[in-house]
Structure 1
Amino acid sequence: MAASGAALCLTAVTLTGCGAVGGLTGDNEVTLRVVAADYGDNPQNSSAAYWKGLAEGFQKDHPGIKVEVDVYSWSEVDAKVAEMVKAGKAPDIAQIGAYADYAAAGKLYSTAELLSVKTEADFLAPLADAGKVKQTQYGMPFVSSTRLLFYNEKLLADAGVIGKDGKGWQPKSWADLEAAAKKLKGAGVTTPFALPLGREEAQAETMMWMLAGGGGYTDNEEGYSIDSADNVKSLEFLRDKMVGQGLTGPVEPGKLDRQAAFEAFTKGEVGMLNGHPTLMKQAEAKGVKYGMVPLPASDGSPQPAMGVADWVMAFKNGHREQSGKFLDYLYQPKNVTAFTDKYDLLPATTSGFQAKQATTNGSAAQLKPFLAALPSSRLYPVGKKSWAGVSEDIKQKIGTAVQPGGQPAKVLEEIATAARAADKG
């Protein structure tokens, strides 16, 4: 998600200094300390405004509970929470990128201990399942997104891939992607297909291709299957057919980050790439006309898309009841919709999902293809406390697998072996 600025610390009424520890502030008054991530990319659209309004609304209905919220950029929020936990000053509630380590350490309340039955049942099933450790849900999905294949309508039309109107392209297999990329290269397009396997989000790009190739990071029993035959074939396709034929542009995939690929797309230098909803606004701001379709499977068979979720968790600070009330309020449909509308993200609840589906205006209508992919999407194995380390291993090594002369089977075996050892440990 977008990261910007330093921490913004606020209460429901006024700005406060950072670092205050929530606790009893009166005979019958409790202060909840909340840490959240900033989804804005400048001070004007910072998430601090959303959390301030949310806290104010909650306090009006619950006069005995005060709420302080610290909003940090995505580049530092996970580390900030880790520091607080290590110092014995964990926040009551955190909205960050991962929860499994804290759940495995016994530091979190389960959702059953916190939420009303109505709220707990409202989470979309794939997201709720991803929030579980050993069949118990600790992570509450906050917002989500799926990925689609974006294409530059003008570049594909000029290359003869689609008609001059630039509409209606629907590749059926990877052979179609290869053929389109070759035409784009022949037409002089700098990067026919951007393949960002750099550190920023290599684990996401890799997972998209693995799923489309019939594989994935885990098997049906949720054991790591990173080195499966299907995954090897997927990376061999990228190595031989895309990178090997010069269809992925001048920057090595292992050195290309997601945002750099997005920026190149908005400059008209990229014909195709996998993207999330954020790219819509970036492309529109630069006047780029684009289409969006699901990334086809290698052989055209139906395969799930990749989904991503960010997480809310509540630490065992003795404020279980108060935290539960605040979380029930956070997940009310009006509050979910207010946030997802502001940042063009997908909701994590059934009620929010239905509200988005019913909307036909503006950016909400453009989100419909992403929404359609969400219910059956596959997420990272975030319920494994080993996942953070495995993700880092993928970021460091996966780019070498697809470069000319790369060895996908060897690289995937190395990552898988370390992943299984970490999982057992």
Structure 2
Amino acid sequence: MTVALAGCGGDGSSGDVTLKLVAADYGTGEGNKSQAYWDGVARSFEASHPGIKVDVTVYPWTDVDRKVAEMVKDGKAPDIAQIGAYADYAKAGKLYSADEMLSIPTQANFLPKLADAGRVSRIQYGLPFVASTRLLFYNKDLFSQAGLKAPRTWGDIASDAGALKQRGVTYPFALPLGQEESQAETMMWMLSGGGGYTDDVGSYDIDSEENVRTFDWLKSNLVDKGLVGPVAPGKLNRAKAFEAFSRGDVGMLNGHPTLMEEAEKQGVNVGMVQLPGADGPTKTSMGVADWIMGFKQNGHRVEMGKFFDFMFNDENVIAFADKYDMLPVTDSASASMEDDPKFKPLHQFLTTLTNAEFYPFGKTSWAQASGSIKENIGKAVEPGANPQSVLQHIAQESSAAENAE
């Protein structure tokens, strides 16, 4: 791996500077790799900023976090990294804060919930790069054939799933609690039950009364009644659930914008509603964000700031969100998409994003907590299981990780 770092041009000094940028690939094949997007942004930036070059390397999501960690460990940190987490690097003092790099208009333009999610000890180090949120998806044709309306409550989900099962639907409600991304499915259900991963002061609260009640309901009303399909939730990964929905084999599941497009391509008539709660639609939804950050090692604070100010203009933000069916992270780009009929399919997601709750990204222990959720949460709904004891086990592992920070 070649790391082309320029040795000159530190904090505000003159001379040619090469910014090393490492990013994740959001593409699904050769035709839509992220390298093309980054090359376009880099060349446009260079044309208007003589003396600053941008050297971009794109890695698959399966590799990018590890690659950056190795570069940092070897003393060859990139200037800019677009990856999944920032907190470890911020806690280690390796990142510039947002206000050390960005102009005030750029920093003020982030959606407030996303800016808050980028903070460690009340200082923003993680710059939100792209976002997504979740809605409940349902197959309109299957619902119509069964004489059903879109669900609004947990009770609706249970009764609708029962009706769909009677009609031979393979997965009346697909519940992916396998290891691929079960921390997302878990958080969506916790939020819909009035709980979440943390309490009001930010401490883990995974085995709260609300969360236990939610998983008791899931086990008793969906899983034990055989309404989640032929694969046990703990063995069902999100990708397989999404594939089944796109084939028309799923009545309901929690989904994101990319699934909407893929399912419609395959002829599924997709309905979407706010996540149902115990008594009605939930007021919050789960949001997901990926991050971009600036490392201190090479001292290119000023040059990175200029690049970020350029990168976060509406044209660039919307271009990436549009290409990959994601959501923009700035107020102005969100407003622009809401005003554009071209983006009407995303408007419901854009509205949901303003009230979304995010993973506790600012905790360096979150990676371990998330790992424990992926490993164990499927066990909470297994035959004969006690959801409370499983949640307590996850809570103990998560708190131990937090106390070890």
Structure-2-length-normalised TM-score: 0.97
| Map of 1:107 onto structure 2 | 94
Match of 1:256 among 231, 236, 244: 236
Residue 153 (structure 1) shift: 1.0
Listed one character per residue, the Cα deviations across residues 59-82 of structure 1 (whole Å, up to 9, x for unaligned) are 011111110000111111111111
TM-fit CA distance, 1:160: 2.1
Matching residue of 1:131 = 118
Is 1:344 the counterpart of 2:331? The answer is no
Which residue does 1:24 correspond to in 2?
7
Aligned to 1:9: none
User: Is the contact made by 1:148 and 1:293 (CA closer than 8 Å) also made in structure 2?
Assistant: yes
Separation in 2 of the partners of 1:302 and 1:42?
36
Instruction: Letter of the 1:37 partner, please give it.
Output: A
Which residue of structure 1 aligns with residue 334 of structure 2? 353
Q: Which runs of 5+ in 1 are unaligned?
A: 1-17, 163-168
Q: Which residue of 1 aligns with 2:344?
A: 365
Given that 2:274 and 2:282 are in contact with CA atoms closer than 8 Å, whether structure 1 keeps it comes out as no
- Kept in 2: contact 1:34–1:70 (CA 8 A): yes
Deviates more, 1:144-153 or 1:27-36: 27-36
- Matches of 2:385 and 2:87, distance apart in 1: 33
Give the letter aligned to residue 279 of structure 2.
D
User: Are 1:72 and 2:54 counterparts?
Assistant: no
Other structure's SS at 2:284 match:
coil
CA RMSD of aligned residues (A): 1.2
4+ residue runs of structure 1 moved beyond 4 angstroms?
none
| Partner residue, 1:411 | 390
How far apart, CA to CA, are the structure 2 residues paired with 1:86 and 1:220?
35
- Residue identity opposite 2:82 in structure 1: Q
| Alpha carbons 1:197, 1:254 under 8 Å: kept | yes
Structure 1 Cα separation of the partners of residues 114 and 248 of structure 2: 35
Alignment match, 2:313: 332
Could you tell me which amino acid in structure 2 is paired with residue 214 of structure 1? Answer: G
Q: Is the 8 A contact 1:21 1:89 kept in 2?
A: no
Per-residue displacement from partner, 1:175-217 (whole Å, max 9, x unpaired)?
0000000000000001100000111110000000000000000
> What does residue range 167-206 of structure 1 map to in structure 2 within 5 Å?
169=150, 171-206=151-186
Contact 2:285–2:356 at 8 Å: present in 1 too?
yes
Matched, 1:422 2:401: yes
> Structure 2, unaligned stretches of length 5 or more?
none
Q: What is the CA–CA distance in structure 1 between the aligned matches of 2:210 and 2:4, rounded to whole Å?
A: 50
Question: How far apart in 2 are the matches of 1:224 and 1:286?
Answer: 41
CA contact (8 A) 1:158 1:187 kept: no
Q: 1:280 offset after TM fit, Å?
A: 1.2
Any conservation in 1 of the 2:3–2:76 contact (CA below 8 Å)? no
Question: Does residue 211 of the first structure (1) align with residue 191 of the second (2)?
Answer: yes
SS at match of 2:393: helix
Quote the offset at 1:339 in angstroms.
0.8
Tell whether the 8 Å contact from 2:19 to 2:304 is kept in structure 1 after alignment.
yes
Deviation readout 1:300-319 (Å, 9 max, x if unpaired): 26431000000001101211
| 2: CA distance, partners of 1:252 / 1:85 | 40
Shift of 1:338: 1.0
Q: Are residues 1:38 and 2:18 paired?
A: no
CA distance in 2, matches of 1:67, 1:339: 18
Instruction: Name the SS of the counterpart of 1:367 in structure 2.
Output: helix
* Aligned length, in residue pairs: 399
1:211-255 CA deviation, whole Å, 9 max, x = no partner? 000000001111111010000011111111100000000001011
Paired with 1:355 and 1:224, the residues of 2 have a C-alpha distance of 37
TM-score (ref. length: structure 1): 0.92
User: Structure 2: how far apart are the matches of 1:257 and 1:67?
Assistant: 37
Q: Quick one: distance in 1 between partners of 2:367 and 2:155?
A: 34
Corresponding residue number in structure 1 for 2:127: 140
The correspondence for 2:301, drawn from 312, 320, 324, is 320
Query: Matches of 1:245 and 1:279 in 2, distance apart?
Result: 27
Which residue identity lines up with residue 390 of structure 1 in the other structure? A
